[in-house]
Amino acid sequence: MPLPVSLSVSPKLMDMETLTQEDDNESAYKRFSFPNEIIQEIISRLPIKPILQFRSVSKHWLSLISHDPCFPKLHFNRSLATHDRTSFFISAFDKLTQERHFLTAPLDGGPVTHLITLHDSHYDDSDAEHLNGLVFFTSRNVPIYGSSGFVINPATRKVFKVPPPPNRDFPIYFFGFDEFSNEHNILCTCYSSIRHPIAIGFMIFSLSTGSWRQIPVDLEELFPRPHIIRRIKHSVCVNSVMYFMLNASYQILAFHLTTEKFSIINLPQGAIPRELTTRFTRHGRDTRKGNSPFLIIDKGLLGVVCHDLVMETNKIHIWFLQDYVNRVWVRETVMVPESWFDLDFFRRIQYYDVHSYVSSCRRLSGDMVNAFILDMKTKSFKLVNFNLVYEFLHSNSVWFQQIRSYVESVLPLREE
C-alpha cells in the first residue's frame, strides 16, 4: 500500500506565485481598462471617501489618484462647482487638557465630525487659511513660544507640522500658492525683540522641497518704519500674490510668489475708517466694535472691507481691486437687516471666508454652538447651529475659536 505523499511549498515559491497572480491581474486590468483621461474624468466627479478607497483597486489606479499631479487639481475644480463638497472647518481648544480639536460640519449646520486632535498647539491666538483644499492653521503665543504652523487636509485627515525656520526668533506664518510653479509656500516673518534695532526678515518654506530659504528684501525702501511688519496677523492669496493689511499705515503689502518681490498698494479713500473703534448704545446697553479694514478674496478679486459706518447706514461697503495695474477700485454695497444688530453680529465679526462673513462661534449650551453667516452670493443672513455630539466637547473649558469653510481635495501633504 503506497504511503501518502506530503507536498510542501516553500514560502518563497508561494510569494512568487502571489506576485505572478497580481501581475496577471494588473495586466488583465490594463488590457480591458479605459484610457487614463476617461478614468480620471469619472473619478473626479466622486466624493473624497470612495476615491480614497479606489486607490486599492490596482497599482494603476493608485498611481492615477495619488501620483498624477493633474488629478488633485481636476478633482478640486470639480469640487468647487459642487456645493455638497464644501464644509465648515472648526477649531476648538480645551484649556484644561491643552488639546486642540479640529472638527467639520455641513454648511447648513448640524452635527460636527471630529477630524484631528493636536497635542502641541497653543491657545493665545490662532488663525486658519484655506487654499486648494488645504487648511493652514497657525497657533501663536509670541511672548513665550513664537508660532507653530500646521498644514491640514481635512478631507484625508492628514496633518503636517511645519518645522521652524533655522536661527530665527518669533516666526509668524502665512500661506500662499504659486500658480506658475503649482506649489504651496509658507511665508514667514521673523524678528527679534532682544536686538536693537529690531531685526526683521522674511523666509519662505516650500512644501515640495521641505526646506527654508531667506528672501532678500530692503524693508526701508518700502516702509519708513519697518517695525510695523510685526503687527501683521492675517493674509489672503489670489493669483500667486499674497496680500497683508498694514493697519498702522492703511496700506496693503503685496508679495509676488513667482518673482518674490514686494510692492505697496494704497487703500481707496472710502475704505479708511474715521476712527478705529465706534462706541454706541443699543437698547440701553453700551458696546463698541472695531473698525479696522480687513482683506477678503471674492470672485478672484482682492477686496477691502471697512464697516465703521454700518451702524449709521445699515450698509457694508466692500472695495474690490478691479484693475491691478492701474489700481482701480470698485465699491459694492450690502444692506444689513436692522434686526441683526441686536445679535451683536458686527461686534463679533471675525473674517470673510469663501463668499461669506463668519463670526466667531458662540456656545448656546453644553452640546450646541452657533455662528452668524452673511452669504455674499445670495446677500442673505442666517444663524447656523452646530451639534456637539462628542462628550469631550461639552466641557466649559473648550473654547471654539475658528470656523472656516473648505473644499474637499485629495492633494497629498509632504508626509504622505
CATH 2.120.10.80 positions along the chain are 82-407
d(CA 39, CA 53): 15
pLDDT of residue 120: 66
- pLDDT for 193 equals 54
The pTM assigned to this predicted structure is: 0.81
In the CATH scheme, what architecture does the domain 82-407 have? Answer: 6 Propeller (2.120)
pLDDT along the chain (416 residues), means of 10: 42 45 51 72 85 84 81 84 79 87 90 89 67 84 65 90 80 89 87 56 87 80 61 83 85 92 89 80 70 82 82 83 92 78 56 55 87 75 89 91 82 67
Q: What is the pLDDT of residue 366?
A: 87
| pLDDT value of residue 19 | 43
